[in-house]
Amino acid sequence: MENLILECRGICKSYGRKEVLKDLNLTIESGKIYGLIGRNGAGKTTLLSILTAQNPATGGEVTINGKPVWENEEVLKDLCFSREIVSSTQNGIAAMKVKNYLKAASVYFPYWDQGMADELVKEFGLDIKKPMSKLSKGMLSMVTIVVALASKAPFTILDEPVAGLDVFMRRKFYQLLLEEYSNTGRTFIISTHIIEEASDVLEEVIMLHGGKILLKENTQELIGRTFCVSGLESEVDRAVRNLKTYMPERTGRGKRVTVVLNSGEKIDETCDVTVQPVNLSEVFVAMCNETEAAYEK
* CB 15, min distance to ligand ADP, A: 3
DSSP string computed for 127-161 = -TTSBGGG--HHHHHHHHHHHHHHH--SEEEEEST
Residues 6+ apart with CB under 8 A from 281: 195, 196
Nearer to ligand ADP, 40 or 242 (CB): 40
* CB 45, min distance to ligand ADP, A: 3
* CB 160, min distance to ligand ADP, A: 8
Nearer to ligand ADP, 41 or 224 (CB): 41
Q: Does 46 bind ligand ADP (CB under 6 A)?
A: yes
Distances in whole angstroms, Cα of residue 253 to Cα of each of 91, 250, 259: 57, 7, 20
Q: Does 20 bind ligand ADP (CB under 6 A)?
A: yes
Q: Which range binds ligand ADP by CB under 6 A, 44-52, 136-144, 220-228, 289-297? A: 44-52
Among 26, 34, 37, 44, binds ligand ADP (CB under 6 A): 44
Nearer to ligand ADP, 86 or 261 (CB): 86
With vertex at residue 282, the alpha carbon angle to CA 280 and CA 32, rounded to the nearest 5 degrees, is 15
Q: Does 52 bind ligand ADP (CB under 6 A)?
A: no
Structural element, H or E, at residue 184: helix 167-184
- What is d(CA 246, CA 248) in angstroms, rounded to the nearest whole number? 6
In 3D space, the residue among 15, 17, 33, 9 whose CA is nearest the CA of residue 198 turns out to be 33
Compute the chain's Rg from CA coordinates.
Answer: 21
Mark residues 248-267: x for contact with ligand ADP by CB under 6 A, - for none.
Answer: --------------------
Helix (H, G, I), strand (E, B) or coil at 112: coil
Is residue 82 a contact partner of residue 151, using CB atoms and an 8 Å limit? Answer: yes
Q: Does 42 bind ligand ADP (CB under 6 A)?
A: yes
* CB 287, min distance to ligand ADP, A: 16
How many CB atoms are closer than 10 A to CB 193? 16
* CB 55, min distance to ligand ADP, A: 8
Q: Does 108 bind ligand ADP (CB under 6 A)?
A: no
Residues 6+ apart with CB under 8 A from 147: 80, 82, 102, 105, 109, 117
* CB 69, min distance to ligand ADP, A: 18
- What is d(CA 143, CA 161) in angstroms, rounded to the nearest whole number? 10
Q: Judged by CB under 6 A, how many residues of this single chain contact ligand ADP?
A: 10
* CB 13, min distance to ligand ADP, A: 8
Q: Does 161 bind ligand ADP (CB under 6 A)?
A: no
- Binding region for ligand ADP (CB under 6 A): 15, 20, 38, 40-46
